[in-house]
Amino acid sequence: MTPTNRKKLVVAHSVRGEAPLHEIETNRALARWLAQIVGLKYGGSYDPELHSGRDLYLLPTQTLVGAAAARQFGVKGPEDLWGGYVDHDFICTKAISHGLYNKNAVAPQGWSSLFSERVRDVVLDGLSVFSLDDARPAAEQLLRSGPIRIKPIHACAGRGQEVIQSLDQFDAILARPDAKALFTEGVVLEQDLDKVITHSVGQSFIGDSVLSYCGDQYLTEDAHGEQVYGGSNLLVVQGSYHDLLKLELPEEVQLAIRQAQVFDAAADEAYPGFYASRRNYDIAQGLDNNGQQRSGVLEQSWRMGGASSAEVAALQSFVNDPGMRAIRVSSVETYIDQPLPADAIEVYRGPAENSDFLLKYVTVKSYDG
């Protein structure tokens, strides 16, 4: 999408057929906002009767999977969407962060061992499991070094995760009626850290604009008391990671950025069919079982995510003031019904998937005060 290609129509698309209202409405709100920023028409949610054969700029809620899905929307490369494309579903999940238990372990079609080799030094200790038979030996190996976290590969916002302290505790999970289905779909077993800070590092390529950012994210309680994604605070620059690293950043933030760069480059190398115009990475930093500081990329997000509204707000700020060096933006999600804070931009207010209320908004602050 370039400024000279004014025929493109910006279209929102909720990939999941059962997508909750807040996901659909957030998707539409950001597509509408982005269209206004780049000077293109907004076409609403994708409708095959209205949009088939049109020149679209797509904002999907999930990474597009498979050539047929890309063809359906006329997506040929990263210039046609704000999000990403992969050949196989597992590539856009937590699964690629870690290798398999051994060379005989079950792997999905298209699996690349090259990726886990490239990222070994920038991720936490862990293994990816795709069968019930591989689960116990993988857990036994990792538990020798301390507690592990079970992470279903398709879960998001921290939902469905459990911390396992012992093999007996893991055996209890294996005895559950849904264990076979869980591990066949894919599970990441990863060392559990204490006193964790989760950094967000990423880039967005929209038209001729390149935004690079770092920041942190935090959790909040949903209506059921579960700890879920609560928001992100980002420091954004116009330009590359090199431009971002020119700012005065703490050493741990610089480390997170460098680790994200390695992970990002490995995806391009190991999965050549992959492309993305939104590339977001979560990096966890905390203490391992021996009290040693650890830092590692947890997963990638090549799609719209919790921080996307903040990225759009940053793009708006840079369009308003092209000479601006950097900007601080925050996305917030709260399950408490409350008035919108002063100077905040509301993204969504209404029911949530698992509760009666959810409020999403964005705030913008100057870089240097």
Q: For residue range 223-256, what is the model confidence (pLDDT) as tens digits?
A: 888 888 899 999 999 999 999 999 999 999 999 9
Question: Residue 186: what pLDDT?
Answer: 96
Q: Is residue 3 part of a domain?
A: no
The confidence band for 65, taking pLDDT boundaries of 50, 70 and 90, is very high
Q: Which of 134, 164, 192 is the last residue of a domain?
A: 192
Using pLDDT thresholds of 50, 70 and 90, give the confidence band for residue 168. Answer: very high
Give, in order, the Cα–Cα distances in Å from 34 to each of 43, 58, 82, 207: 12, 11, 10, 11
% residues pLDDT > 70 (the chain): 97
For residue 2, tell me if it sits in a domain: no
Give how many domains the chain has, as a whole number. 3
Question: Phi, psi at residue 180, to the nearest 5°?
Answer: -60, -45
235 and 360 assigned to the same domain: yes
- Same domain? For 327 and 234 the reply is yes
Q: Are residues 202 and 99 in the same domain?
A: no
Residue 158: the pLDDT is 59
**Whether the Cβ atoms of residue 328 and residue 369 lie closer than 8 Å to each other:** no
The predicted pLDDT at position 226 comes to 85
CATH code, domain with 146: 3.30.1490.20
For the domain that residue 218 is a member of, what is the CATH number?
3.30.470
Q: pLDDT tens, 92-104?
A: 999 999 999 999 9
Within this chain, do residues 209 and 340 fall inside the same structural domain, yes or no?
yes
Is the domain of 153 the same as that of 238?
Answer: no
Query: Is residue 340, in this structure, part of any structural domain at all?
Result: yes
Residues 49 and 15 sit within 8 Å (Cβ to Cβ): no
Residue 58 lies in a domain: yes
Q: What is the pLDDT of residue 223?
A: 85
How many Cα atoms occupy the beta-carbon half-sphere of 74 within 13 Å? 16
Whether residue 1 is contained in a domain is answered as no
Q: How many residues does the chain have?
A: 369
CA distance 26 to 351: 12
The per-residue pLDDT for range 251-280, each reduced to its tens digit, is 999 999 999 999 999 999 999 999 999 999
Q: Please identify, among 135, 168, 192, the residue that sits at the C-terminal boundary of a domain.
A: 192
In order, the DSSP letters of 284-303 are EEEE-TTS-EEEEEEEEE-S
Domain check: are 219 and 174 in the same one? no
- What is the pTM assigned to this prediction? 0.93
**165 part of a folded domain:** yes
For the chain, the distance separating the N- and C-terminal CA atoms, rounded to the nearest angstrom, is 33
What span, in angstroms and rounded, lies between the C-alpha atoms of 165 and 151? 14
Task: Pick the last residue of a domain from 89, 111, 146.
Answer: 89
225 and 303 inside one domain: yes
Compute the mean pLDDT over every residue in the chain, rounded to the nearest whole number: 94
Q: What residues make up the domain containing 141?
A: 93-122+125-192
On whether both 243 and 184 belong to a single domain, the answer is: no
Phi, psi of 109 (to 5 degrees): -60, 135
Report the C-alpha gap between 158 and 228 in whole angstroms.
Answer: 6
Position 6 scores a pLDDT of 67
Position 15 in a domain: yes
**What are φ and ψ of residue 74, in 5° steps?**
70, 25
Which residues have CB under 8 Å from 98's CB, separation 6+?
A: 116, 123, 126, 127, 128, 188, 189, 190
* 100 alpha-carbon distance from chain centroid: 22
